[in-house]
Each structure stands twice: as C-alpha cells, then as structure tokens.
Chain A
Amino acid sequence: MSSRIFVSILRNATFSTLAMVASYSANAETWTVDSATSKAGFVAIGSPGFLRISGEGARVKGVAQSNESDPAKVTVKGTFEVELASLKTGMSLRDKHMKEKYLEVGKFPVAALTIEAVDLRAIDILPTEQDFTGKLTLKGVTKQIHGRAKLTRTDPAVQVEANFSINLTDYPIDIPAWLGITVAEKVDVNVHFIANSASTH
C-alpha cells in the first residue's frame, strides 16, 4: 500500500474517531429515576423455620449521568436514595420494630446507593446483565457493595433491576430478634426503577 493511501486512511479514521467523540460529548445524558414506578425491597431469612421475610414498597429517587469520554463505552454514574419509611413486610408489628428499633428511620430516613460505573453501550432492547460496584450508605455508614443488574433500554428510558446482598453487621444494625425469631445476618436487596433520559449539550 502506498504511503499516501495509508496516510489518507489514517487521517479519515482519526477524523471519524474525533467526530464520534465530539458527537458523544455533544449528547451527554442525564437519567432521572421515575419515583412513582420505582420500588426497592429486601428478602431476609428468619430462624427457626427458614421464615422468608420480604420487605417491599420503598420508593427510589435519584439521578445518573453518562460519561462519554471513552468512545468504546458509555458509563453511567449515579446516586440513588431509597426511602425506608415506606418499607412494609406484611406484619404491622414487625414493620414497627424494623423502622423504629433497627433502621431508626426517624434519624436515617433514606439509604443512599452510589453506582460507580455501568456500561450504557451494552444495554439493548433485550435485557442484558452486568455486574456493578457501588457504595451503600445505611444508618450513616458507607460500605462497598457488589451486585448484578439487569438493564433494558426502552428509549428514551432504561429499565433497571439490580440485586445485591449486605451483611447487617457491616452497619450499625443489631440482628433483629423477637419472641424467638432471629433474622440471618445476610439480607438480599432488590431495586427496580425506570430512568428517563434527558440529553444535555
């Protein structure tokens, strides 16, 4: 191949790459959680009897921003808040103990989840799964968490179903125990929401 043709190809490739980068930078996106349709909950196991305790009904709110500095992938970073006061487990007395004694929602009304990086380019109209890392702040203590998320692009929105586990003892939460029933240390958390995008220039 002649050097002139080679330089031409290289120039075109560079120009195309720069154009792509420019176009991504021009279309940076902000994703806002639709709180009305969001929900967060947990599953804990009680003893004896391997009692399955499901908490649900907590609302999620938050914003995520995409980062297009790398043309190979578009990463999203965001902070989400889960309102703990609306959690319900199906038994009013258990809910009361959970919120007043163990979670102290009066002092700590929300749990904050910060996601480090989710690759937006990988998301398609069919659900895709990817691992994620983040930080969960619960009762004033922040710990790193690792989870798995299923994401589906439904333009202009993205549907997110995220799951991760925490150990209660990592946070200032006593192991719930009452009338002979104790809850296992490990709790599985699930978060579902739809995030709508608004492009920014």
Chain B
Amino acid sequence: MCRYVMPIAHLAATLSLNLVSSAGEARPEYVRHGYFSCTSCHVSPGGGGLLKAYGRMVATEKLSAWAKENEDGPLHGAFEPDENLAVGGGVRWIQTYSDDAQTRKGSFFRMSSDIEGGLRLGKGVFKQARVWVASRVGIEGGPDKSPTGERIKHRTVSPTHYMQWEPSEGIYVRAGRFATRFGLMIPDHSASVRTGTGLSPGAETRQIEATFTTKVLDLTFSRFIASRDRNLHGLWIDTAESRDENGYAAHASFFLVEKYRIGVQALRGTNTDMVRTVRGIHAALPLSSAWTLLHETDWQSHQSKKSHLTWTKLICDAFPGLSPYTWIEANRPDMATSRGRRDGVGAGIAIKPRPHFNLDFASGLALDREKYTYALNGRVIAHYWF
C-alpha cells in the first residue's frame, strides 16, 4: 500500500509561522442564532477580531460551559462592560504532532500573544455617526527556530489598526490595516481556502473597505494595498504573497429564509510579476438547532494556472462549552495536473469550560496526491483571552 508523506517543513509552515492572531474568532455558524451580520458582536463588519461588550456576553452565554454573570468581561469582570469600549487579545500555545513515512515529530510553541483595544467616539464628537478606533499589538508567534535550525526573531508588530465610520445603520467604512474580507473569514490558518488564497489570519494589509448591510444582504468592497514591511517567508504553495499584492475584493452574503447564509466572493490582485483572480462561494447552513455546516470553495487563476480550493466543516453545538467538529478539504494548486494536490480530513473538539479559557483538540489525515503519501497530524491549542 502506498504511503502518503507530507514534508515536515510544509506542515510546520502551514501551522505556525508569523502568527499573531489571537483575536476573537469569526463565527459564521452563529447565523443559527439570528446573527446574520457580525456587527452585533464584533467591531469589524467581517467578523473576528475585537469583540464588543455584547459580543463578550454572547461568547459567555453560547460558548462557555459555566460562567458567572459578567465573568466574560475584561479581567474576569473586574469592571463593568461599556458599550463604547472594546478590549481584547490574549495568548495561545500549540502542541503539534505529525507522523509520516520518514519521521514522527512534535513541537510546542507560543502561537500568538497580543492585546487589542477599541474606542467608540460617539455623538459628542461626530454627531450621529459612530466612529470606532481600534488597534491590535502583539509579538509574533511561531517556533523559536526554523526547520533548518535558524533562530527566528519574534518582532513586535501591529497587524491590525483602523478607524471605522458608521454614518447610519448598516453602513460601515473603515480604513487602515486589517484582513481582507473574503469568504467565511474562519480563524483556522491551515484551512485550504485560507492558505491557498493567502488570506489567512496573519495576512493583514493596508486597505479601505465599505460594507452595506440590510436584513437579508451583506455587501463589502475592499481596496487593498501592498504592505511591504512584512514578509511571510513563502507560507503558501504556488500563490502570490498577499502581503505584496495590490487589488480589489468584493464579498456578498445573503440571509435566506431567515436561517441560511450563502454568499459569493471575488478578488483581483496584482503582484510584482503576476495578476491573479479568485472567485468563490461560501455558506453557513444550520442543519438543526445544534448542527451547522460551513463550506467555502474558491477558484484561483494566476499566471497560466488555475487552482481549486475547497473546505467543509460540520460543527455540533449541542452543549455549551463543548463543540465537536469534523472537516474535509482539498487544495489543487494546478487543476490541469495533480501537481501539488493535497487533501485533508479530520475531526476535533473545542472545549470552553469558562469564559477566557479555550482548548481545542484536533487530529487529521493529510494526503499528498502528487507523491502518493500521507501523514497523520494533530494539534492541541490552549488559548487564554483577556
């Protein structure tokens, strides 16, 4: 029987390098609870990142197994939540494991550590419009040494900082540095649709963005500009380094029969030596009161190659604080051949016993269809959020 092998370097790169994101996670599956737009809980219209005071309460109510009132607040409820102030950040550690034909290896390192804050300037300053000013500062995470043994210096960076103007209900305009809104905005760095498009957390870039939201439609247009002060060390396979990319993106989600979220996304980017376009679809489909199916598929054209990325995740939220899930994904960098094709399948469970503490256990199988090798991999993530 053939064995599939994933290069350890690729696995490590996929999981870890230059990760700063420990911000609140985007939860598109919350469409099940009536949260079509992300702005009820998050400052960002795309979800993820800084949580508002109400968002913290939702995280406690829906995600934690046990909680005291206000325990979700900063410093475990030491002070009363304020709707005009958002505080976030935290620290994450990861233990990885991989087992292939050549080696068996584990690694433990700090994924990220940062603090973030936001202030809403209200009517006294901008009349009826609301303006948020938000920023996140942290120390780059990742192993202390590269796969070749070189020491990695972890810099202090600010991957996210922006000003957001809300002239009226459902309209948001922001400018600064943040992640391009594209697809489901899931926090999983290693998902094929994130790594393959180069838009995973850690790929924040300077841009201006406008979002229009109604009860049934959520529309975002972005203009992003190359941010050449960081280099991602070739994190992705055969894709443009988004950090050096200029371009435009559009994202539309529809809230169907007051229950399902289905959308489309498109991006056109110009790098120093190539132009790429990415188009895709995404969906968050509550199957029942406890089960939600998330899906994203993207088609990418760059140079003469067309690639295809797909990711599907099934989540069960039957018990507060306990969420088992399973996923299946595929990354085809070149649809004309099987070169670089990788498939993955796995399962995991997220445990959130109390506010501020998260544990995530996952294990999967990575198949390299080009080299007919496979590898077992696993991870445990411990997250403390402020």
Contact = CB atoms under 8 A, between A and B. Distances in A.
A199 B342 CA distance: 71
Contacts of B169: 47-48
The residue among A50, A51, A90, A92 with the most chain B CB atoms within 10 A of its own CB is: A50
B58 A91 contact: yes
Interface in A68-120: 90-93
A30 B34 CA distance: 39
B361 interface: no
Nearest to B38: A49
Contacts of B57: 93, 179
B254 to A, nearest CB: 13
A178 interface: yes
A198 to B, nearest CB: 36
Interface in B8-59: 33-41, 52-54, 57-58
A6 to B, nearest CB: 61
B37 A51 contact: yes
B370 interface: no
A49 B39 contact: yes
Contacts of A49: 35-41, 213
Interface string B66-81: 0001000000000001
A92 B61 CA distance: 8
A133 to B, nearest CB: 27
Nearest to A180: B83
B81 A179 contact: yes
Given A48-B37, A50-B213, A93 B52 contact: no
B215 A181 contact: no
Nearest to A181: B54
B214 interface: yes
A21 interface: no
B170 interface: yes
A180 B53 contact: yes
Nearest to B58: A91
Given A91-B61, A93-B61, A52 B36 contact: yes
A145 interface: no
A188 B61 CA distance: 25
A44 to B, nearest CB: 10
A45 B36 CA distance: 11
Contact of B40 (A46, A54, A92): A46
Nearest to A48: B39
B58 A51 contact: no
A53 interface: yes
B188 interface: no
B238 interface: no
Contact of A179 (B36, B52, B170, B214): B52
Nearest to A96: B69
Contacts of B39: 48-49
A7 to B, nearest CB: 62
21 contacts: A45-B215, A48-B37, A48-B40, A49-B35, A49-B40, A49-B213, A50-B37, A50-B214, A51-B34, A51-B37, A52-B258, A53-B34, A54-B34, A90-B34, A93-B57, A93-B61, A179-B53, A179-B54, A180-B52, A180-B53, A181-B54
Closest 4 CB pairs of A and B: A180-B83, A52-B34, A49-B37, A49-B40
